[in-house]
Structure 1
Amino acid sequence: MQACDRCYRRKSKCDKAIPTCGQCQKARTLCDYIDRSREPAVRREAVDRLERRLRQAEAKNRALTSQLATYQASRSSSIGKESREAPQPPVLSPNFPFDRNEVADEVSFLSLQAGGERNYPGVASGVVFSHLVQGVASLDSSSPHGQAPNRTSTRPVDQTTSSLSIPREALPPEIVARRLHQAYFKHDYLCYPFLNRHSALANLDRIYADVSVLEADATVAFPFYMVLAIAMASAHKCDWQSLPESENFQARAMMRVGEVLQRSDIHALQAVLLLCQYRMTSPIQEKSTSLWHMVGFAARMCFEQGLHRNETYYDPSSHSGNEDLLALSETRRRCFWCVVDMDRIVSITLGRPLAIHLEDVDTVLPEPHVLESSDSTPGNTEEQPSPTAIFNHITQYRILSGKVMISLHSNRATARDEDSAAVARITLTEELEQWRNESQNLHLQPESHAQTRRSSFLSPEWYELLYYNTLLMIYRPSPTLSTISARSPAVLQATFDASREAISRYALLHTSQRINYTWITLHAVFMAGLSYIYAVGRHYRTRKANTSANAVGSTLSTDPTIIEVVNTCRSCSIVLVAVSERWATPRHCHQVFDRLSDAVLADVIAFFTQSTSTPAASMNQANASRNIITASQADLNTPLSPDDSVVIPPISAATCFPLGVDTALRDCFEDLQHFHDAYGGDGPIRQLSQDWLHEIGGMALHAVQLWGE
């Protein structure tokens, strides 16, 4: 008889008892015996993924059959007669023009071939670059505007202006298109204003005045359909299972992507940014590695076009005032800073090096007064902050978060000594506080129930969330500050407070339906929850050690109560479930979090139960711990040094008394590594779980790295 599944995974000795072995009974976990002699065990997530792909393949077959029939009918009609007589458009159903049972382009995953080519194609390789992006996007090959995207073909796409005209019924009703454009510019555009709003709305008027514009100009057709796709995905964030329209709009846009990318100008850069933005928005797109590649392409396109140099922009003071040139120049500037923002978001989430370093950049942030009139929403009586001011403030935050990553969580940071790293931490904290204070200049109003629901980018809670996320990034365990983090109660307190407040803000945004259901949000929520459990577990591990052996370690200022831990963990779990169910790859992360939160809650209950049974000893120990904290708690603005009068030994396997949450961490450790296996890179979730395991003496780090490979 073979060992049970848990002992087999942990490579521990199993007594093979039935129904529960000794190891599982001791850990109070489920004991399963799997017959490995016949076939290997398959993870449930892999089965779900295969079933999903099967459904997608069936949907694609139905869609291709329908598209082929439509194409053949249109072609025979155009050959038989050239008259412009056309039947009246039929009455469109609310689900126009796609059947919800034919989620035709759901298989248009930008993630199916996420690895793709890893080399930048060069300056003049417009066609190669087009095929490269198409390979990353895994396009639907049935395109009336060109041949199927063959990876080995170098045939240019400029011959593909089609003989198949776009039927009027292929467009959404004009009122629907206008509402989707309005929704896009009220939400998604605030964070990434790389399109010219005035030009986009003017093109919308041209399209519905003459539908042939879509066929004649790919630089009009591609942004038109992508804006519809992004806005539809955002509009359906609460009804996330009803996204065929969004996928079909994106598929229609991809029919023209080759023609746009071949230009290698600002239109090509905007096309890549639209793909990245859709990648972040649509829950159908599961993987982030291809997004990381596309952001890298966009960064190199910026360098190619000189957008990182201020001298390449139009200077109205040295030329006669040309409004068109000024508008184009500011659009190019916004494109560059949008790429910087995306680069920071994706690289920090994946734990990968930045593509754009500010040492190479001398261009300034967008001018608030340029394009401001076209950015404002007509007829809006509410006093809202300037869209450009919002974008600049968000960009300043992204720049600051990039500095945190470089200073504390990169290979460059590991070469620092602890004193200089501690000084960098203090400086970054001060800059973050200054950014938080400057948020008041936006004059954001809290949303009331009487108001229409607004974008999260107009919510002060969202900016508070950014503040606590970065504070957590500053004070979580870092390779350069591992000793300080292990012995400083103030650092543990900052980690605890930041994670708790971040979870609270996420729960508030989720309750008000203003949260952005993206894989980046999923990662941030999980990171906040994991940090909270880490801080609570470390506190009670030290408290237990103090009670048992008078050991000293870092603790929180007060003991988190049972109800506090329950409420915080429950709030985090609710948000994780809501976000993760939209993303198939890491959707089991809420199950991992629930196992950890249940374990730490059991430890908290056990601690208070034991304290109640021995009140006198508990009171004496609590007073002793409080005195230790008072004597040893260093101010966050004062780095610790070896000469400090109070020496706090680092927590180790010898002085640490394991808790149930430590056992749960060992059981969930492989899942925590798999969370980042799906994304690639050495991300913060992997780093924190490895540091935690190292603290409790669970395993050598070289073995941890093998699991991640």
Structure 2
Amino acid sequence: MPTESSPRSSASGLYENEIGATAEQACNECRRRKSKCNRIIPVCSLCHKFERRCTYEKHTKTPLTRRHLNEVENELARTKALLQQLMNNPKDHANVELHTPVEDVNEVSHSEDVARFQQLSHPDPSNRQPRRLASPGVHSRHSTQHIALEEARNDQYQSSVYENGPQAISSLPLKPNSSPSNFEWDERNENSNGERFIDGMGSLTSAPHEGGYLGVASGAALLRATDTGTHGTTEFPCLEQRSPASYDRTPRIEFALSSLGQLEPFVDAYFSVYHRSYPIIHEATFRAQLMEVIPRPAGNAWQVLLFIVSAVGVWTTSTKPIDIDLQLFESAKARVSIDMLETGNLVLVQALTLFSNYMQKRNKPNSGYNYTGLARRIAMGIGLHKEFTNSEASLFATEMRRRIWHCLYIFDVGAIITFSRPLDFPNGGIDVALPMNVHDPDFTQATKALPIAAGETTIYTHMRAQATFHMATSTIYSKIISSPFPSASDLLDMDDKLIGGWLREIPDFFQESVTQEPRFRLCHSILRWRYRNFRILMYRPLLLSRLMARPGQGAGQENLAQTDIAIQRCLDAARESVELISNFWAQEKQNIMACWYGLYFLFQAILIPVICLRNDPQGPLAPEWREQIYQAMMVLESMALLNPTAFRCLSVIRNRCGTYLDTSVEGWGNPTEESPQTQLANLYPLMWPTLEMAQLDGMDSVLQESTILDFMNQLPDME
């Protein structure tokens, strides 16, 4: 029996150094009397008031809460990851850095759920590295036995995994030799470095062909028209000059995942931003499958889809550079097998389509281009391009097929335009209808009659608008990448009829002047930037001809007037793009998805005033061009905090027109001394790649000059 003492001196010695602290639960006396205890240590207020003995029990058991369990699991996962890194990198153990969980993925992410998690992907056993202890001092009988036991457990786990079916693709030992003459590329992680930068926007390239073929309508083509190098290559700052948080690095510590439920915050992130622009997945169905309210589709394809959804979600909604998505993508890729490509289903089309778009945005555009081809072939193989009037499928199933097809169509054609490659998406034989503009609760699995289309913006409004845009402009695109180049009057006519007709068909509630709800402002803005960018692609060859080519002789006034209108439309589209993107970036929520699209369209737009200022620094529009460039540079500096590619874009602008921006510098008023032939010569490998290969094979170099002159001669005379 403990002896009595004063209340303040009788508290448990366990808490004698915790004056002012709070206990986890009520004191023994308050619990006995069932009184409300304020749990003050060393004595609560009631015990102090009535001079009772105040004692607390020191609990040894941990609280049985989900939050505490998550904390323990995350701490264990980080410890295992650090230990694994020490074992695999004994020479670098002194420099090991333990990565903390990503913060601010978005409001949809809970901090306790966004920790590093144990990866469930199944690596190739042939690639497993022998385990090593971190240092000689760690070699003990106990540690050796522990490692042996851990390896035995892993071997048992690997064996059970591979008995259940193929879930990983072994990396091939043979690596193709890159050759600039045939546009070969290698975008595997282990072969990426700063000297061979390839961006997913088709605007920057460190060598003429190492990033694959980029045609005349790509951003790189216009950039090369301003190249000041002697060999036609564009120089960019090395990776060390970029932001420390680089996209190109490979994560040093694997993620820890103890259950698929830990992916839920990333799924939330996906549906909060990306899904509103590209609803290729039905949210309610996918979430029900994740929670196993309804059965998940058989096979590995659904898990592939889950991990790529998680990767896209965490990347697009992040407000700072991250690398969690890279491991999520590796987990998705590890579940793709060759056997899977011998099947055809909607889930696989969804997964491969998201693969393609994600890889383009992660600066692996050629890999994304390949995934799009796979997705399209599988989609056609299961008939997504056709309507079946006598089908027994439900209305909802038919509608989902339409949504998936048109999202695939958007990504495919969008990438084709970005890299200026031939439009190989078929026009004939495609009769699938557009998805309906409806709210999800109005069109469900149980719907028996088609609902009435919504008279307001839904998550399907942007998809419908972008799909119809590509349908309207595919003819124009095919003409501007072909020879002969259309005349100014032809371009204006197509613009007025096709793009103008498309603009008039946009619903009133999605018109450019209508302010959208915050959740739809990004996709609405991207659509405004997109069609202006297309006008830039249409008219910029005429602008280049006016700035660089020799004046024509005896041209008619009517032809000259049409060219003036076309050039003015190009200048207007560039100016409006800079203004719209700058305003959006200053006023709306900034995340990586908004940054990626804003950077792509802004850089292509700002190259127009850059070229104009270089060739006409004292023209009447020169002050306006300088103002646009300064405005764009400010936005690019801000975007660089999210996307390091913006640093490269800034370097390009400063390199191309730094002298012309400062009127106090001597010689600012003189146009570039590069001849039109030199400026255009830097453009020709992208416009006519077959000529470059022919020249390397020993053919006459006069072919290059004659082809460039043919291109210039097919444009209208400028005088």
Amino acid at match of 1:201: R
Distance 1:66 1:228, change over 3 A: same
Contact 1:375–1:387, Cα closer than 8 Å, also in 2: no
- 2:481 matched to which residue of 1? 410
- 2:170 matched to which residue of 1? 150
Residue number among 427, 447, 471 corresponding to 2:535 in the alignment: 471
Partner Cα separation in structure 1 for residue 570 and residue 679 of structure 2: 21
Partner Cα separation in structure 2 for residue 485 and residue 523 of structure 1: 32
Partner Cα separation in structure 2 for residue 63 and residue 702 of structure 1: 59
The one-character-per-residue Cα deviations of 1:78-104 (angstroms, maximum 9, x if unpaired) are: xxxxxxxxxxxxx994542349xx9x9
RMSD of aligned residue pairs (Cα, Å): 5.0
Contact 2:640–2:646, Cα closer than 8 Å, also in 1: yes
Q: Report the 3-state secondary structure (helix = DSSP H, G, I; strand = E; otherwise coil) of the residue aligned with 2:437.
A: coil
Partner Cα separation in structure 1 for residue 352 and residue 486 of structure 2: 40
Partner Cα separation in structure 2 for residue 186 and residue 399 of structure 1: 28
Alignment of 1:208-607 (within 5 A): 217-236=299-318, 238-240=319-321, 242-244=322-324, 246-258=325-337, 260-281=340-361, 285-310=362-387, 313=388, 315=389, 318=390, 325-369=394-438, 373=442, 385-407=457-479, 409-411=480-482, 414-415=483-484, 418=487, 422-443=489-510, 453-459=518-524, 461-477=525-541, 488-511=563-586, 512-514=588-590, 516-517=593-594, 521-538=598-615, 540=617, 543=619, 559-560=620-621, 562=623, 564-579=624-639, 587-602=647-662
Distance 1:297 1:503, change over 3 A: same
Partner Cα separation in structure 2 for residue 335 and residue 249 of structure 1: 23
- 1:80 matched to which residue of 2? none
Contact 2:311–2:328, Cα closer than 8 Å, also in 1: yes
Distance 1:359 1:599, change over 3 A: farther
Partner Cα separation in structure 1 for residue 688 and residue 560 of structure 2: 20
Partner Cα separation in structure 1 for residue 517 and residue 457 of structure 2: 17
Amino acid at match of 2:310: L
Partner Cα separation in structure 1 for residue 117 and residue 676 of structure 2: 46
Report the alpha carbon displacement of residue 229 of structure 1 after superposing the two structures with TM: 1.4
Report the alpha carbon displacement of residue 458 of structure 1 after superposing the two structures with TM: 4.9
Q: Are 1:659 and 2:679 an aligned pair?
A: no
Report the alpha carbon displacement of residue 230 of structure 1 after superposing the two structures with TM: 1.0
- Percent of residue pairs identical: 17
**Comparing both chains, which one has the higher relative contact order based on Cα–Cα distances under 8 Å and sequence gaps of 6 or more?**
2
Distance 1:438 1:589, change over 3 A: same
Partner Cα separation in structure 2 for residue 219 and residue 417 of structure 1: 45
The one-character-per-residue Cα deviations of 1:603-626 (angstroms, maximum 9, x if unpaired) are: 79989x99xxxxxxxxxxxxxxxx
Q: Report the 3-state secondary structure (helix = DSSP H, G, I; strand = E; otherwise coil) of the residue aligned with 2:541.
A: coil
Contact 1:447–1:453, Cα closer than 8 Å, also in 2: no
**Bigger radius of gyration among the two:** 2
The one-character-per-residue Cα deviations of 1:433-469 (angstroms, maximum 9, x if unpaired) are: 2333444523479899xx984344454x433322321
Report the alpha carbon displacement of residue 199 of structure 1 after superposing the two structures with TM: 1.6
Contact 2:489–2:563, Cα closer than 8 Å, also in 1: no
Partner Cα separation in structure 2 for residue 225 and residue 201 of structure 1: 13
Q: Report the 3-state secondary structure (helix = DSSP H, G, I; strand = E; otherwise coil) of the residue aligned with 1:292.
A: helix
- 1:124 matched to which residue of 2? none
Any unmatched runs of 5+ in structure 2? 1-77, 89-109, 123-157, 174-254, 446-453, 547-551, 553-558, 693-703, 710-719
Partner Cα separation in structure 2 for residue 354 and residue 143 of structure 1: 46
Partner Cα separation in structure 2 for residue 569 and residue 375 of structure 1: 49
Report the alpha carbon displacement of residue 352 of structure 1 after superposing the two structures with TM: 0.6
Report the alpha carbon displacement of residue 220 of structure 1 after superposing the two structures with TM: 3.1
Partner Cα separation in structure 1 for residue 328 and residue 589 of structure 2: 24
User: How many pairs are equivalent?
Assistant: 456
Partner Cα separation in structure 1 for residue 528 and residue 444 of structure 2: 25
Partner Cα separation in structure 2 for residue 458 and residue 200 of structure 1: 22
Q: Which has the higher helix share?
A: 1
Q: Report the 3-state secondary structure (helix = DSSP H, G, I; strand = E; otherwise coil) of the residue aligned with 2:258.
A: helix
Distance 1:93 1:372, change over 3 A: closer
Normalised TM-score (structure 2): 0.53
Distance 1:147 1:182, change over 3 A: closer
Report the alpha carbon displacement of residue 183 of structure 1 after superposing the two structures with TM: 3.7
Q: Report the 3-state secondary structure (helix = DSSP H, G, I; strand = E; otherwise coil) of the residue aligned with 1:454.
A: helix
Any unmatched runs of 5+ in structure 1? 1-58, 70-90, 106-140, 154-165, 377-381, 544-558, 611-657, 687-698, 705-709
Contact 1:265–1:305, Cα closer than 8 Å, also in 2: yes
The one-character-per-residue Cα deviations of 1:489-545 (angstroms, maximum 9, x if unpaired) are: 32222221110111111112222235735666544322111112234445557x5xx
Report the alpha carbon displacement of residue 395 of structure 1 after superposing the two structures with TM: 0.9
Report the alpha carbon displacement of residue 566 of structure 1 after superposing the two structures with TM: 3.7
Q: Report the 3-state secondary structure (helix = DSSP H, G, I; strand = E; otherwise coil) of the residue aligned with 2:285.
A: helix
Partner Cα separation in structure 2 for residue 298 and residue 681 of structure 1: 28
Distance 1:186 1:147, change over 3 A: closer
Contact 1:226–1:274, Cα closer than 8 Å, also in 2: yes
- 2:281 matched to which residue of 1? 195
Q: Report the 3-state secondary structure (helix = DSSP H, G, I; strand = E; otherwise coil) of the residue aligned with 1:228.
A: helix
Partner Cα separation in structure 1 for residue 436 and residue 375 of structure 2: 22
Q: Are 1:185 and 2:271 an aligned pair?
A: yes
Partner Cα separation in structure 2 for residue 571 and residue 664 of structure 1: 29
Q: Report the 3-state secondary structure (helix = DSSP H, G, I; strand = E; otherwise coil) of the residue aligned with 2:611.
A: helix
The one-character-per-residue Cα deviations of 1:402-449 (angstroms, maximum 9, x if unpaired) are: 332112x222xx14663xx7324312233222333444523479899x
Partner Cα separation in structure 1 for residue 621 and residue 417 of structure 2: 30
Contact 2:169–2:334, Cα closer than 8 Å, also in 1: no
Amino acid at match of 2:519: R
- 2:232 matched to which residue of 1? none
